[in-house]
């Protein structure tokens, strides 16, 4: 049995990482500041599922606050052993458009938070660090499918820039102190209890409730939608020793937004009332992951196709509709 620190534990991906690790018999210390960047009812829902599990300990804590984190590391250290077998830093301010409105909050969590955790890993002898990064790092002109060695030095949003900065910090701490780092670039993760600012949650709610379906652009843009449990499996696989690696976790099957809307219409048996708006300059036209590196290094491939994953999302929404219909999606 290992003991892992998972940051952002009430978040969409991190909560499922905690569940998978607990299923494997590991101990998990979860931290989350429970901020209101999106509707906290989703965070409360995910956290309630975790708190009932043996082996899980939760601390309400902001990764940008070094003193609180240091106290947590000290509390879990003992007998000369490191406090954790690995740190999985999944805490993040996520989303392109919100980062334009509040870039300071994004850098505080995504950059200062990563720096704090890396510094504590160095101080306390934690030798494995996993960073949740993003496909947004690739920018606008990356040849598809996106390879990890493609240029990523021209980010289009403060969110992408903050994640690129965190990746660079990880490399510096790997070089200076030998910390083994896995940087995982996630591609448009979706599934039950997902983030409400993401397109598939929004489309599902808006179509189910007869609300206008807002699409930025003409709907022909495509996204490499990746089911959450597949991303979780890849994240846990990346706990193995890798030195320093950046690895894409995507579906390798981009889906056009208009086609995604049509599939949700079929599953909900309701018509979408689509309203097209001007595209945002921070959005890319398409994302598409090259996942050869994940296959080679992690033995990982996605197992849940888009059609099946969308069924799981729509079924979850129907089962939780009484409160999910009221979730803010802005």
Q: What are the per-10-residue average pLDDT scores of the chain (330 residues)?
A: 98 98 98 96 98 97 98 93 98 92 97 98 98 94 94 94 98 98 98 97 98 96 97 98 98 97 98 95 91 98 98 98 96
Residue identified by tokens 């689509």 is 274
In a domain, 329, yes or no: no
In a domain, 64, yes or no: yes
What is the extent of the structural domain holding 102? 3-324
Whether the CA torsion 246, 150, 102, 165 is positive or negative: it is positive
In a domain, 119, yes or no: yes
In a domain, 118, yes or no: yes
Q: What is the pLDDT of residue 282?
A: 81
The whole-angstrom separation of Cα 185 and Cα 137 is: 8
Active-site residues, by number, are 159
In a domain, 177, yes or no: yes
Residue 300 falls in which region: left (phi positive, over 0), alpha (psi -120 to 50) or beta = beta
The whole-angstrom separation of Cα 116 and Cα 7 is: 12
In a domain, 161, yes or no: yes
Q: What is the pLDDT of residue 167?
A: 98
In a domain, 171, yes or no: yes
- Domains in the chain: how many in total? 1
The whole-angstrom separation of Cα 40 and Cα 36 is: 6
CATH number at residue 307: 3.40.50.720
In a domain, 330, yes or no: no
């Amino acid at each position: 049995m290992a003991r892992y620190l998972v940051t952002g534990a009430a978040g969409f991906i991190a909560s499922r990482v905690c569940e998978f690790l607990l299923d494997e018999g590991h101990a998990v210390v979860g931290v989350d500041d429970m901020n209101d960047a999106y509707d906290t009812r989703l965070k409360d829902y995910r956290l309630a599922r975790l708190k009932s599990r043996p082996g899980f300990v939760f601390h309400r804590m902001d990764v940008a606050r070094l003193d609180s984190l240091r106290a947590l590391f000290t509390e879990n250290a003992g007998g000369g052993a490191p406090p954790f077998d690995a740190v999985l830093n999944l805490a993040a301010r996520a989303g392109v458009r919100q980062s334009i409105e509040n870039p300071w909050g994004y850098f505080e969590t995504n950059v200062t938070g990563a720096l704090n955790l890396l510094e504590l890993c160095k101080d306390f002898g934690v030798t494995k660090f996993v960073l949740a990064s993003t496909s947004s790092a690739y920018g606008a002109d990356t040849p598809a499918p996106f390879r990890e060695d493609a240029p990523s030095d021209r980010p289009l949003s403060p969110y992408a820039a903050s994640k690129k900065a965190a990746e660079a910090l990880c490399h510096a701490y790997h070089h200076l102190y030998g910390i083994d780092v896995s940087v995982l670039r996630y591609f448009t993760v979706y599934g039950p209890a997902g983030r409400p600012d993401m397109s598939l949650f929004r489309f599902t709610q808006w179509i189910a409730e007869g609300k206008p379906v807002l699409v930025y652009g003409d709907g022909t843009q495509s996204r490499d939608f990746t089911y959450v449990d597949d991303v979780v499996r890849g994240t846990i696989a990346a706990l193995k020793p890798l030195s320093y690696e950046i690895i894409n976790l995507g579906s390798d099957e981009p889906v056009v937004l208009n086609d995604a809307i049509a599939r949700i219409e079929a599953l909900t048996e309701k018509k979408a009332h689509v309203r097209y708006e001007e595209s945002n300059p921070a959005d890319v036209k398409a994302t598409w992951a090259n996942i050869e590196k994940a296959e080679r290094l992690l033995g990982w491939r996605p197992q849940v196709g888009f059609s099946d994953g969308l069924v799981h999302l729509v079924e979850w929404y129907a089962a939780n509709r009484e409160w999910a219909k009221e979730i803010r999606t802005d």
